[in-house]
Structure 1
Amino acid sequence: MKGHSRLGACLAASLMLSACTVGPNYQPDRMKLPASFKEAAEEHPATPEEIERTNKEMTEWWALFKDPILTHLVQDAIKGNYDLQIAGQHILAERAMRDRSASQWYPQMDANMGGGDVRYSINIDNWPIRPGNPSNRPGASMLTYGATASWELDMFGRIRRDVEAHEREVEATIEARRAVLMGLLSELASDYMLLRVTQLQIGIATDNIRVAKDALDLSSRLYREGVGNTLQIAQAQAELDAQIAEREPLRTRVSQLTHAIAVLLGKMPGELEEQLKQPRPLPVVPEFPAAMPSIVIANRPDIRMAERKYAMATAQIGVSVANLYPHFVVPLTFNPNASAMYQVFQVNGMSWQFLLMASMPLMHGGKMTAEIRAAQATAEAARLTYRQTVLTAFKEVEDAMAAWHDDIEYAEQLHKAAEDSATASDRARKLYGAGLVGFLEVLTTERTTLKAQNMEALARLERLKDAVNLYTALGAGWKGVALTNSTLPVSLETQNVLARAFKQ
C-alpha cells in the first residue's frame, strides 16, 4: 500500500505539472499598412456605409457583370470543380492528422491473447529447473491473454504544441482551398470574357467578309463595264480569302475556351457546346468599388494561409524545445499465463506491472539543439514569407487599379478610332464606285477598319479582365461560398465493427 501511495503521489504531481507548456507562444506579425491604396484616388475617406456596400458587392462579384449565364456557370463550377473537391479532401486529411496527434493525450491500449505448445532445450549445462517444467519434460502447453497500455504525461506541452501545429495546418489548408476557389472563379470569368469577345471578333470578321465580297462584286462589275481591270479583281479576291482565313483561328479558340470552361465545371469537353455556342452581348463592366480601404487585403486567402503557416512553424519550435525536457510515461501490463484453460484465471497465473517511467535526454551530440535552431529558422522564414505575401498582394491590387483607370481612356479612344475607320471605309468604297479613287485606297481603309474594330474588342476585354483581376487581388468571392465538409466514399464504420464500439 505504501508503494501504491508513492506512485499515486507521483501521478498527481505529474498531472499538476502538465499545465506547463514550453516554447514561444504565437504572436501575430504586425505590419504597418497604409490606410488606403495609392491608386484608389479617393477624394474622401471611405464611410462605413460605403465599406459595407463594397463588401456586399464583392461577396458575389461575378453578379456585377449582369450576365446570368456567367452566374450560372460559377454556381456549377463551385459544385463540380474537381480541384476544389481535391482541396476539400486535403482539409479532411489534415484534420485526421490533427486528431492523430491529439490521440497522444489518451492512454494507448492493446489486447493480446494466444496459446500453443513450446519446447525448451535441455542440452545446456546448469540450466535452471523451471517450475512445473522439469528438465526431463522440456515441452509444455501455454495459454496467455492480457493487455498492454501506455500513457504519456504531457508535462511540458510537447503534445499540446504538436496538436497546436496541426490545428494551424488545418486552418492553412482551409485557406488553401479558398485560394483554389478564388483561382477557379478568376479563371472561369476570364475564360468566359475571352469567349464572348472572341465571338464578337468572329462577328466582326464575318461583317468584313461580307464587305470584302461586296468589294469583289463591285470590282467585277466595274471590269465588265470597262472601267476596272483584272488587277483590282485579283486584289479583291485576295482580300476576301485573307478575311476568311483570319476567321478560322477564332472559331478554334471558341471551341477551346468552351472545352476549358466545361473542365472547370467538372464536365467533359463538349458538354457546354449548345449552351455557349450562341454569341451574346459582352458582360457589363462594373463600376469601380465605392470604398477601397487597405484592410480588405485581409480577405486574401494567400495572406491568411501564410499567417497560419507562421503560427504552425512557431508551434513546431515548442515541440523541439519540449524534447529537451523529461518524458514521463505510465506503462501498464496485464498478462496472465498458464498451461490449462482453468488455470489462466487463477491468482497464481496473474502477471502485471504498473509503473511510472521517466526519461531525460543527456547527450545526443547537439542533435536536439540543432532541431530547435532549425525550427526557429523555419518560423522566421515563414514570418518573412508572410510579409512578402502582403507586399505582393498590395502590388497586385495597385496594379489592377492602375490598369482599371488607364484602360478606360484607352478603350474610349479605340472606340472612336473604330467608328472613324468605319466611316472612312464606307467613303472609300463609294469613291471607288464612282471611279474617283483606286482599289488600293479601299483595301487600306478596310484593313484599318478591321484592325481598329479588333483592337476595340480587345480593349473591351481588357476592361472586363481589369475588373476580374481587381476583385481577385482584393481576395473577393470566397466569403459567399460556405465551407462544406467533404465526405469519403467508404465509411470506416462499414468496414470494422469495432470502430463503432471503441475510439481507435
Structure 2
Amino acid sequence: MRRPLPILALAAALAACAPVGPDYHPPRPALPAAFDGRVAAKAARPTPLAGWWQGFHDPLLNRLAAMTLAGNLDLQIAGQRLEAARADRDAVAAAEQPSLGLGADYANERSSTLLTWPPGVGQYKTWDAGLQGSWEIDIFGGTRRAIEAADAESGMAEEDVNAAKVAVLGELVADYTLLRSDQHRLDIAHRNIAAQTDSLALTRRALKAGLGTEVDVARAEAAVKLSSAQVPVLEGGVQRLAHAIAVLTGQPPESLTAALYGQGGHDLMAPPLPAALPSDLLRNRPDIRRAERRIAAATARVGVATADLFPTFEIPLGIGPVTSNLANLFNIDSLVWTLGLSARQSVLDGGKRDARVRAAQAVSEADRLLYRRTVLGALREVEDRLTGIDTERRRHAFLVTAVEDDRIAFTQASRLYGAGLTDFLKVLDAERALSQAEDALAVSEAGEVLDIVGLYRAFGGGWQRPAAS
C-alpha cells in the first residue's frame, strides 16, 4: 500500500501549479476630478448615502422605507437569485475535491465451457461491493478559473440585490414626494375654489345691486367648475400613488391608504445634497460594481477555455471485496483495489477549442467596453441631476416672485371690482394667474425634491450599511 503514495504526492504537486489564462486586473477608468456645475460646488459637506431618506425628517417615510426593505418582493426575488448563484459557486468548487461513491453488484452468469481461451467455467455467481472514486487533478487551473468565474458571478448577483435596493428605495421616496405634492396641490385647489366661490358670491351681489352683469356671474361659475374639475384628477393621482407605495412595501394596494391620507399634504424638507467625487461612483454604484465583477468572470472564463487546450489527468480509485460466495464477502482474501493515473488529450477537434478561447477573449473585451459605458452613463446621470436641481432652483425663485405678484394683483383687482372701478374680467384673470402660479410653484418644489432623490439614486445610495457609531 506504500506504492500509491508517490502518485498522490505527484498529484498534489501538480495541482499546485499556477493556472493558465490571464490573471484579472480591475479596470482603472479615467475620471474627472470633480463634478461640474454650481450645485455640485455648494454640496461641500459629505453626506452619508446609507439611510439618505432620513434627511427628510419624516417619521412616516422612515417607517415606509423600513417596510420596503423588509417586504419588497423585488428584493426578495433578487435575494433568492443571490442564494442560487452562491449555490452554483459551491457546485463548481466541488470539482476540486475527490469524488467517492459506494456500489454493490450481484451477477449470476454462465460462460461457455467449449472455449480454449479463456477457459470456460460454466455457471458462476459474483458478489462485489466497495468504494469507487476519482480525482481530476487541476494541473492547468481550469477548475480554479471556473471557481473564480463563479465567485465573480456570485458578486454580480449580490450587486443585483444592491441595485434593487437603490431602485425600490428611490422609487418609494419619489412616489411619496409626488403623493405629498399632489396633496399639497389639492390644498391649493380647494383654497382657489373657496376664493372663486367668494368671487362668485361677489358677482351675484353686484348683479343684484345693478353693478354687475350675468356674464360676470357665468364666468365666475365657470371658474369654480374648472377648478373643481382638477380635484378628481389630483385625488386619483394620490390614490394611485398610495397603491404604488403599498405594493412597494409588499402589501395589497389599499392597505396603506388610511395612513397616507391621514397625514395631509405638507412641504417636504429635502435632504442635503450629497457631496461626492466621481471616484465615489466606482465604490457606490451597484451597476458599476456589477460591471466590474462581470469583467472578472469573463477573464476567468478565458482561463477555463485555455485550460481545455491541455490534457486532463485523473486518479481512479476502487477498493472492495469480490467473491463468488456471499459468505466470503468480508474475507480479507476477497479484497481487490485499484489506484492509478490516467491522462486524456484531444488530438483533433476541428479548431473547436481554439474558437472557444477566441470567443471568451472577445466576451472579456466586450465586458470591458460595457464597463466603460456604464461609468460614462453614471457620470452623465449625476451631471444631469445636478443640472436639473440648478434649473429647478432658478425656476423656483421666479415662481415665488410670480406668486407674490399675482396675489397682489388679485387682491387689488378684487378691491377695485368691489368698488365698481373695474370689470370682473380683470378679477378673473388675476385669480386664474394666481391659481396657475401657485400650482406651478408646488410642482417646482416637488421637481427639485425629485431631482435630489434622483441624485442620491445616481450616486448609488440606499444599499450601504450605516457606519458603526
**TM-score > 0.5, shorter chain as reference:** yes
Aligned-partner Cα distance in 1 for 2:16–2:325: 48
> Which residue matches 2:151?
167
Relative distance call for 1:40 and 1:182 in structure 2 (3 A) is: farther
Alpha-carbon distance, 1:124 to partner: 10
Q: Does 1:19 align with 2:11?
A: no
Q: Does 1:224 align with 2:211?
A: no
Q: How does 1:76-91 map to 2 (within 5 A)?
A: 76-91=67-82
Alpha-carbon distance, 1:294 to partner: 2.2
1:68 to 59, 82, 88: 59
Q: How does 1:97-116 map to 2 (within 5 A)?
A: 97-115=88-106
Query: Which amino acid in 2 is paired with 1:108?
Result: S
> Which residue matches 1:54?
46
1:322 to 294, 298, 307: 307
Aligned-partner Cα distance in 1 for 2:377–2:410: 47
Q: Secondary structure at the match of 1:54?
A: coil
Aligned-partner Cα distance in 2 for 1:230–1:408: 43
Q: Secondary structure at the match of 1:478?
A: coil
Q: How does 1:329-344 map to 2 (within 5 A)?
A: 329-334=314-319, 336-344=321-329
Alpha-carbon distance, 1:339 to partner: 4.5
2:290 to 305, 322, 325: 305
2:280 to 284, 296, 317: 296
Q: Secondary structure at the match of 1:58?
A: coil
Aligned-partner Cα distance in 2 for 1:41–1:16: 60
1:475 to 453, 460, 464: 460
> Which residue matches 1:380?
365
Aligned-partner Cα distance in 2 for 1:332–1:28: 41
2:252 to 268, 288, 310: 268
1:208 to 174, 185, 192: 192
Query: Which amino acid in 2 is paired with 1:12?
Result: A
Query: Which amino acid in 2 is paired with 1:106?
Result: Q
Aligned-partner Cα distance in 2 for 1:118–1:448: 102
Query: Which amino acid in 2 is paired with 1:175?
Result: E
Query: Which amino acid in 2 is paired with 1:54?
Result: P
Q: Once the two structures are superposed, what CA deviation does each residue of 1:376-423 show, in whole Å capped at 9, x if it has no partner?
A: 000001111111111111111111112222221211111111222122
> Which residue matches 1:404?
389
Aligned-partner Cα distance in 1 for 2:206–2:176: 45
Aligned-partner Cα distance in 1 for 2:293–2:331: 57
Q: Once the two structures are superposed, what CA deviation does each residue of 1:158-186 show, in whole Å capped at 9, x if it has no partner?
A: 11100011111111211111111111111
Q: Once the two structures are superposed, what CA deviation does each residue of 1:414-454 show, in whole Å capped at 9, x if it has no partner?
A: 11112221222232233223332223222222221111111
Tell me the C-alpha RMSD between the 2 structures: 2.5
Aligned-partner Cα distance in 2 for 1:79–1:304: 24
Moved over 6 A (4+): 41-44, 121-128
Query: Which amino acid in 2 is paired with 1:377?
Result: A
> Which residue matches 1:249?
233
1:432 to 409, 413, 417: 417
Q: Does 1:36 align with 2:42?
A: no
> Which residue matches 1:500?
none
2:299–2:364 Cα contact (<8 Å) kept? yes
Bigger Cα displacement from structure 2, 337-346 vs 206-215: 337-346
> Which residue matches 1:155?
139
Query: Which amino acid in 1 is paired with 2:439?
Result: N
Q: Once the two structures are superposed, what CA deviation does each residue of 1:94-139 show, in whole Å capped at 9, x if it has no partner?
A: 1111111110111111212344x746597999897643xx2xx5xx
Query: Which amino acid in 1 is paired with 2:393?
Result: I
> Which residue matches 1:444?
429
2:39–2:390 Cα contact (<8 Å) kept? no
Unaligned 5+ runs, structure 2: none
Q: Does 1:9 align with 2:6?
A: yes
Q: Secondary structure at the match of 1:422?
A: helix
* Matched-pair identity in %: 38
Relative distance call for 1:323 and 1:345 in structure 2 (3 A) is: same
Alpha-carbon distance, 1:462 to partner: 1.1
1:161–1:318 Cα contact (<8 Å) kept? yes
2:85 to 63, 74, 94: 94
Alpha-carbon distance, 1:320 to partner: 0.5
Aligned-partner Cα distance in 2 for 1:285–1:413: 19
**TM-score of the aligned structures, taking structure 2 as reference length:** 0.92
Aligned-partner Cα distance in 1 for 2:154–2:292: 13
Bigger Cα displacement from structure 2, 191-200 vs 443-452: 443-452
Query: Which amino acid in 2 is paired with 1:239?
Result: A
Query: Which amino acid in 2 is paired with 1:295?
Result: S
Aligned-partner Cα distance in 1 for 2:113–2:341: 40
1:354 to 339, 345, 360: 339
Q: Secondary structure at the match of 1:331?
A: strand
Aligned-partner Cα distance in 2 for 1:124–1:181: 78
Unaligned 5+ runs, structure 1: 483-504
Aligned-partner Cα distance in 1 for 2:422–2:128: 111
Q: Once the two structures are superposed, what CA deviation does each residue of 1:450-473 show, in whole Å capped at 9, x if it has no partner?
A: 111111001001110121111111
Query: Which amino acid in 1 is paired with 2:293?
Result: R
Q: Secondary structure at the match of 1:38?
A: coil
Q: Secondary structure at the match of 1:480?
A: coil
Aligned-partner Cα distance in 1 for 2:420–2:160: 68
Q: Give aligned pairs, total.
A: 464
1:19–1:156 Cα contact (<8 Å) kept? no
Alpha-carbon distance, 1:71 to partner: 1.7
